[in-house]
A and B are shown apart, each in its own frame.
Chain A
Amino acid sequence: MLPKRGLAALAITTVALVLLLSFKTPDATLQGRTGTVAVVEPGTPSTAAPRATATPTAGTGDATAASTIDGPVVSTRWGPVQVEIVVAAGRLEDVVALQLPTGRHSGEISSWSEPILREAALQAQSADIDIVSGATYTSDAYARSLQAALDQAGLG
């Protein structure tokens, strides 16, 4: 729950700061923007995924055939992790998570390391995002499965 008293305190501080520093005029695109701290209501800020969208080389005149190699299943506290790599012309083309633990159990979610490593292993293919900030936990298992697949492909 949002502590109401906390917000009130922020608002007061905000007003004081606005008076002192004469901030620029509020940005109309932001709901509830105040001086020191801006507040946006639920649902407003979410944007599309940072997920890479590269598809393996498939048809369309591309002569290089893509092959897929599955990494081993690595067990974690939260469930199995397994990745598949797509290799074409000796290069890593894509990394796909075949298995990742999902769901929220006791406040723990562990399904989010995929895009981080995927983008690290490939060139950052999303035009929008280079890096993702946020805690990870299953990334170790992900890296191990990925590494094994790369070793198998002779790319490690």
Chain B
Amino acid sequence: MIATHDAEAIRRVEPLMGTTVSLDIRPPLVSPDVIDDVFDQLRDVEARFSTYRPDSEISRLARDEVREEDCSLDVRHVRAACDHLAQVTGGAFDARRRRADGGGTLDPSGFVKGWAIEEAAWRIDSAGGRNYWINAGGDIVARGHAEGGRPWRVGIRHPDRADRVAAVLAVSDRAVATSGTYERGAHIADPRTGLAPTGLSSVTVVGPRLAFTDAYATALFVMGLDGMEWLSRQADYAAYVITDDERTVWTEGMERYLVRGA
């Protein structure tokens, strides 16, 4: 854990949920105990939802050792949200996994990280935090403003060039999520075909809630460029994508966030 705490800011970095979660709070600051709680909560979510841990609630559910109605409220909520997302994305985002025995199981990893970070943000809000960001491996909640009342500036990493950003977004009270092939390889498969999607190398979605923003970025990555029209119909969500042949395409809603001449 890396933590600094002074009059101007609280910062913390911790490896969690298969990535690194970092946090930066500007005044009004919150108690360090709140930050401890936030990270404890994230560790708890990781323990309960990990598909890699055989003793996690989600793994026990997958083995039918526990019935869904007996699961925690969080697990049932995540299940319902994942079902909803599968429906609204036409199956481009789908946490359901078919088992060899014909039964169904759930791998909600693509939803849980964003949801957990959203919950963390809610805790900071409740404790009086107004200006901060949380970054979980590139999936971001940015609340309020940076110093001087300016919006937070989010760089979208260029998919092919390590030392460049493809665009800069100015956001306040928004979530930003990026999906891409560039680091996780064929990490994302089209749930409908099992194949790796082609056409886009980077998809960034800006929206009001990270859980959905993240899931929409995954879905849009699967849909490819054809999905831009679908995304542009989702109220309050905007997308910026980079194609395999290095074109950049964005929805009208993204215009308000794009920083010109950046």
Report A's interface with B, CB cutoff 8 A.
1-3, 6-7, 9-10, 13, 17, 23, 29, 35-51, 92, 102, 104, 106-113, 116-117, 120-121, 123-124, 128-137, 139-140, 142-144, 146-147, 150, 156
With contacts A117-B22, A135-B178, A140-B20 known, what are 20 further pairs, Cβ within 8 A?
Answer: A1-B198, A3-B226, A6-B224, A50-B165, A106-B185, A107-B182, A112-B182, A116-B135, A120-B20, A123-B11, A130-B154, A131-B176, A133-B156, A133-B157, A133-B169, A134-B159, A135-B183, A137-B19, A139-B19, A143-B14
Cross-chain contact of B248 among A45, A48, A102, A117 (Cβ < 8 A): A45
Distance to closest chain A CB from B187 (angstroms)? 8
Residues of A within 8 A of B165 (CB): 46-50, 129, 132
Binds A, one of B49-57, B71-79, B92-100, B139-147: B139-147
- Is the CB–CB distance between B183 and A1 below 8 Å? no
Q: How far, in angstroms, from A136 to B179 measured CA to CA in the complex?
A: 10
Q: How far, in angstroms, from A90 to B89 measured CA to CA in the complex?
A: 51
- Is the CB–CB distance between B183 and A47 below 8 Å? no
- Is the CB–CB distance between A112 and B168 below 8 Å? no
- Is the CB–CB distance between B137 and A10 below 8 Å? no
Binds A, one of B30-38, B102-110, B120-128, B249-257: B249-257
Question: When A and B form their complex, which 10 residue pairs have the shortest distance between CB atoms, in order from nearest?
Answer: A134-B157, A42-B246, A120-B22, A139-B20, A129-B155, A108-B185, A6-B226, A49-B163, A133-B178, A134-B138
- Is the CB–CB distance between B137 and A135 below 8 Å? yes
| A24 closest partner in B (C-beta) | B255
Cross-chain contact of A132 among B9, B157, B198, B226 (Cβ < 8 A): B157
Residues of B within 8 A of A120 (CB): 2, 11, 13, 20, 22, 24, 135
Residues of B within 8 A of A51 (CB): 163
Cross-chain contact of B156 among A107, A134, A156 (Cβ < 8 A): A134
Interface of A is mostly: loop
- Is the CB–CB distance between A129 and B225 below 8 Å? no
- Is the CB–CB distance between A42 and B245 below 8 Å? yes
Residues of A within 8 A of B202 (CB): 134
Sampled A-B contacts (8; CB under 8 Å): A29-B260, A36-B229, A37-B251, A38-B250, A40-B248, A45-B248, A47-B168, A110-B183
**CB 8 Å contact bits of B159-184 with A (1 = contact, 0 = none):** 10111111111000000111111111
Q: How far, in angstroms, from A6 to B230 measured CA to CA in the complex?
A: 12
With A36-B252, A136-B137 already in contact, the answer to whether A42 and B154 are too (CB < 8 A) is no
Distance to closest chain B CB from A118 (angstroms)? 10
Distance to closest chain B CB from A89 (angstroms)? 14
- Is the CB–CB distance between B162 and A135 below 8 Å? no
In the complex, chain B residues 204-250 whose Cβ is within 8 Å of any chain A Cβ: 204, 224-226, 228-229, 232, 243-250
Residues of B within 8 A of A104 (CB): 182
In the complex, chain B residues 1-52 whose Cβ is within 8 Å of any chain A Cβ: 1-2, 4, 9, 11, 13-15, 18-20, 22, 24
With A131-B135, A139-B137 already in contact, the answer to whether A109 and B162 are too (CB < 8 A) is yes
Q: How far, in angstroms, from A111 to B166 measured CA to CA in the complex?
A: 16
Residues of B within 8 A of A112 (CB): 157, 162, 182-183
Cross-chain contact of A111 among B162, B176, B243 (Cβ < 8 A): B162
Residues of B within 8 A of A110 (CB): 183
Q: Does residue B152 face the partner (Cβ distance < 8 Å to A)?
A: yes
Residues of B within 8 A of A36 (CB): 228-229, 232, 251-252
- Is the CB–CB distance between B177 and A133 below 8 Å? yes
